[in-house]
Chain A
Amino acid sequence: MKAVSAVGLHKGFRATPVLRGLDLAVEQASLTAVLGPSGSGKTTLLRVIAGLERADRGELSLAGQLVDGGRHFLRPERRRIGYVPQEASLFPHLTVEQNVGFGLARQLRSGPRVAELLDVVGLGGLGGRYPHQLSGGQQQRVALARALAIAPQLLLLDEPFSALDPSLRASVREEVRGILARTGIATILVTHDQEEALSVADQVAVLRQGVVAQFGSPRQLYSDPVDLEMARFLGDANLIEGIVSGDEVVTPLGTLRRRTSPGSAGTPGPAVVLVRPEQIVISAEASTGVPGRILHAEFHGHDSVVEVASAAPQLPGTIRVRVQGAANVEPNALVTLSASGEAQVWPKPAE
């Protein structure tokens, strides 16, 4: 039984369709990221699942129970869904304790349950404060505790980390993942940050124009994107030309194994090949490979991305290469590039 099962969901506002026949299945106790650019329908999907909007067409079931479809519609307060909106949206007139206890029955509000929940999110002792006395990260965690208080069957997080500054974002994200793993509640996380989606989620659904364009584990999405657009959307992509022959694809950077996933081109002939920056090696010696000239290096701390100009006609003007730690390269130095591993391949579009 799926925690969430959506079949052919349609939702539009006046003449503008937002969801156009969306299908989605979320496993119990899993963390699913819904990833997509602005306007792709992420927030609308979340609001339909929460019951804050009613779908125009299609069916939505939660834990096997039909909640939206045909003449059925279960009101939001009956769905037992913990909803954490973008801005935490704590009730400003209530203390932290009262916020967390909001969804509980009256006799439970002053009991140990609220204190337990505050401990779970690491805010024990702050129950008497008001929301404006908390930092952004703390507010976000109170909102999570408030949603967890009703023992939800599903948690919906709408870009919960976007309001936090980058240094805080990673730590809060990790904490939240830990809490979700401990509680075992199925969770849908909406985000437009692909790094966040890939690093946190068990499954990622990429939304594009109101439908799920691809659904799978972060690794699948990264290595087997269904099309060129998806390849570019999910991380740095070098798209180079090559020739498919059998299980291999021959490129100027070397011969790579062809991935045999759906969408991958199997027919021999010219093709577009996705080579991720970490698959490419820079060498100072004039060994096998393509000659190139170093343009510059972006230092990210844990690694660096080096941009290299290449004159080969089958290659894009600049190639991005990821190296461990600081890149030991000088601008304008002449190098050679070579690639290895597996690569996703598409037929070369006709010109």
Chain B
Amino acid sequence: MAILASEVELPGSVRVRRRVPRGLLVASCLVAALLLLPLAFLLLEARQVGWAQLFGLLFRQLTLTLLVNLVGLAVVVTALAAGIGTGAAWLVERTDLPGRRLLALLLVLPLAVPDFVVAFGWVSLLPAVSGYGGAVLVMTAGLYPLVYLPVSASLRGADPTQEETARTLGLGPGRTFWRVTLRQVRPTILAGCLLVSLALLAEYGAFEILGYQTFTTEIFTEFQVGFNAPAACALSLVVVLIGLLVLLGEGTLRDRGRMARTAHNSRRAGPRLQLRRWRWPAVAALALVVAVALGMPIGVVLYWLVRGGSSTLPQSASVGSAAGHTVLYSAAAAAIATILALPVALLACRSPERGVRLLERSTYIVQGLPGLVIALALVFFALHYLPFVYQTSGLLIGAYAILFFPLAYVAVRASVLQAPVALEEVARSLGRSPWQVRWRVTLPLVAPGLAAAFCLVFLSAVTELTATLVLVPTGVQTLATQFWAYTGNVSYGAAAPYAAAMVAISIVPGILLGRWFDRRPAQLGAPR
């Protein structure tokens, strides 16, 4: 076996190359292979259907309609999300906006409310909110945090001396914003936009509630209602193709964005811009955003909870037992995804060699695969080759773990960077064996990140709807499936407790996560 070597740039510009640990390499390859399984299964299914039939299914009016629907929505929602996200980030980070700390928190929270609950909130109260207009409203409200969050972080980390220099060169605040600030954060904005597009591509529940036809709703109908596997497979291929294209763009931007980042120690904050008479209009605008994205869905859920409501469906699962299943599946998936992320992160952070980087990149591909496609691919495979795993909880947990691997990976990678190899080497020279070093040095340093990864995946799995609907074992109800069943039956009062339980369960990991991110600067030894 060829031994990979890598160069590690040490401070003092001495280059030392280390061997890639073989165990880690093997484990990471296995993880990458596992993550690529859905894609492989999908292609396998496509081959079984036959390319001739696939082309027949693809080149028809329906595909074009779906494409137009998707692009028409994506363009408008992405532009709105970029405008709202960037504007809100700038107001919160760079101006003397009153109540900006509270607003900063409220502006992020919509991420914890699943989009189908937002849609439910609007439609159950105002049935007129539907179709294209409804989709624009709900998806913008649900997805703008994907721009807001990275842009505000980028503004916080950007070098204020650039703006100060622009001011000394004679630019006013407005022109400084256009010519300097916006330039600094532009790659971040674009990357956020691509995340919004990916989310739009993957969304199912909200579109179904709003009655807006896209690829996911059509795939779901073909598969669950029409039992037309070939058609579902053909449309899935289109979705995967679009997803991978978007991902490719995102990867390119990520590399470019790296250059825009500034040195660690230049974290001095510049003076905030005085809004003067625009203060209260600005607050009102952000309050409106929060009201639409957060206040409305939460308010409506509470309204239905209080009003209660009878259901025509038989009570197949209580909130308690559905919550039990949701927690069980989500926790298992979170643990698995976190464990899978660890070897890849260790390898990628410590052996930044070209081959290793390629391996790491291959795990990003999962981001471009919607949950529905991953679930369908697993179903195709199980039906053909392993019928006994079909409709088992294992398949659902596996789908969650694959789907949310990228989330776990981000957190685990960040924490592995907190545990540099130099520390392990010092520990070795102090007379500790490799296993003792892992136990006493590496694990304690990585543990907070592992906890964060677990929480991120758990939070997302609790509110996952689409893959759950496809893969949930027969006779088992989770919060999401039960909510869906009642909503589909227009029993809003009966659905509300399940939505409330989902949001409540995801708040605990949310708080833990917030605390972890607050703690990180201290660990890095940054001046406080």
Residue ranges of A at the interface with B (Cβ–Cβ < 8 Å): 13-14, 38-39, 42-44, 47, 50-52, 75-83, 85-87, 89, 91-93, 102-103, 131-132, 143, 146-147, 149-150, 159, 162-163, 192
Contacts and interface: CB of A to CB of B under 8 A. Distances in A.
A14 B5 contact: yes
Contact of B426 (A13, A39, A89, A192): A89
Contacts of B17: 13-14
Q: Of residues B14, B420, B422, B432, which shows the largest number of chain A Cβ atoms within 10 Å of its Cβ?
A: B14
B432 A43 contact: no
Given A52-B425, A91-B441, A93-B445, A80 B431 contact: yes
A279 to B, nearest CB: 34
A38 B12 contact: yes
Given A38-B13, A52-B429, A92-B525, 15 more contacts: A13-B5, A13-B17, A38-B14, A76-B429, A77-B429, A77-B432, A80-B431, A86-B12, A91-B445, A92-B445, A92-B523, A132-B522, A147-B429, A162-B12, A192-B12
A39 B430 CA distance: 27
B427 interface: yes
Contacts of B16: 13, 43-44, 47
A92 B426 CA distance: 13
B86 to A, nearest CB: 34
B156 to A, nearest CB: 20
B433 interface: yes
10 closest Cβ pairs, A-B complex: A103-B430, A132-B525, A83-B429, A13-B17, A76-B428, A89-B422, A43-B14, A93-B444, A77-B431, A103-B431
Given A83-B425, A89-B422, A89-B426, A150 B15 contact: no
Contacts of B445: 91-93
Nearest to A102: B430
Given A89-B422, A92-B445, A92-B523, A52 B428 contact: yes
A13 B431 CA distance: 26
Contacts of A44: 16
A159 B12 contact: yes
A78 B429 CA distance: 8
B11 interface: yes
A100 to B, nearest CB: 10
Contacts of A89: 420, 422-423, 426
Contacts of B418: 92
Contacts of B524: 132
A50 B5 contact: no
Contacts of A81: 429
Contacts of A39: 14-15
B14 A77 contact: no
Contact of A77 (B11, B428, B440): B428
Contacts, number: 90
Interface string B443-472: 011000000000000000000000000000
Nearest to A14: B5
B10 interface: yes
Nearest to A159: B12
A85 B422 contact: yes
B430 A91 contact: no
B422 A87 contact: yes
Interface in B216-272: none
A83 B426 contact: yes
Contacts of B441: 91
B420 A42 contact: no
A22 to B, nearest CB: 16
Contacts of A77: 428-433
Interface in B29-54: none
Contacts of A103: 430-432
A157 B237 CA distance: 58
Interface in B399-440: 418, 420, 422-423, 425-433, 440
A82 B429 CA distance: 6
15 contacts: A14-B5, A42-B14, A52-B428, A77-B432, A78-B431, A79-B429, A83-B426, A85-B422, A85-B425, A86-B11, A91-B445, A93-B444, A131-B525, A132-B524, A149-B430
Interface string B1-36: 000010000111111110000000000000000000
A102 B423 CA distance: 12
Contacts of B12: 38, 43, 86, 159, 162, 192
B430 A146 contact: yes
Nearest to B4: A14
Nearest to A84: B426
Contacts of A91: 423, 427, 441, 445
Nearest to A146: B430
A83 B424 CA distance: 12
Nearest to A139: B525
A147 B423 CA distance: 13
Contacts of B14: 38-39, 42-43
Nearest to A78: B431
A81 B423 CA distance: 15
Interface string B511-528: 000000000001111000
Contacts of B428: 51-52, 75-77
A150 B430 contact: yes
A150 B432 CA distance: 11
Contacts of A92: 418, 445, 523, 525
A97 to B, nearest CB: 15
Contacts of A162: 12
A51 to B, nearest CB: 8
A86 B418 CA distance: 17
A163 B12 CA distance: 9
A165 B146 CA distance: 42
A85 B445 CA distance: 19
Contacts of B422: 85, 87, 89
B6 to A, nearest CB: 9
Contacts of A83: 425-426, 429-430
A96 to B, nearest CB: 14
Contacts of B440: 102
Interface in B481-509: none
A150 B525 contact: no
A50 B426 CA distance: 10
A313 to B, nearest CB: 40
Interface in B262-286: none
A85 B525 contact: no
A71 to B, nearest CB: 19
B7 to A, nearest CB: 8
A38 B5 CA distance: 21
Contacts of B11: 86-87, 163
A55 to B, nearest CB: 14
Contacts of A82: 429-430
Contacts of B523: 92, 132
A87 B420 CA distance: 11
Q: Of residues B418, B422, B426, B427, which shows the largest number of chain A Cβ atoms within 10 Å of its Cβ?
A: B426
Contacts of B432: 77, 102-103
A73 B87 CA distance: 61
Nearest to A40: B14
A77 B437 CA distance: 10
A140 to B, nearest CB: 13
Nearest to B526: A132
Contacts of A42: 14
B426 A85 contact: yes
Q: Of residues B5, B444, B525, which shows the largest number of chain A Cβ atoms within 10 Å of its Cβ?
A: B525
A143 B441 CA distance: 15
B355 to A, nearest CB: 13
A76 B423 CA distance: 14
A139 to B, nearest CB: 9
A43 B10 contact: yes
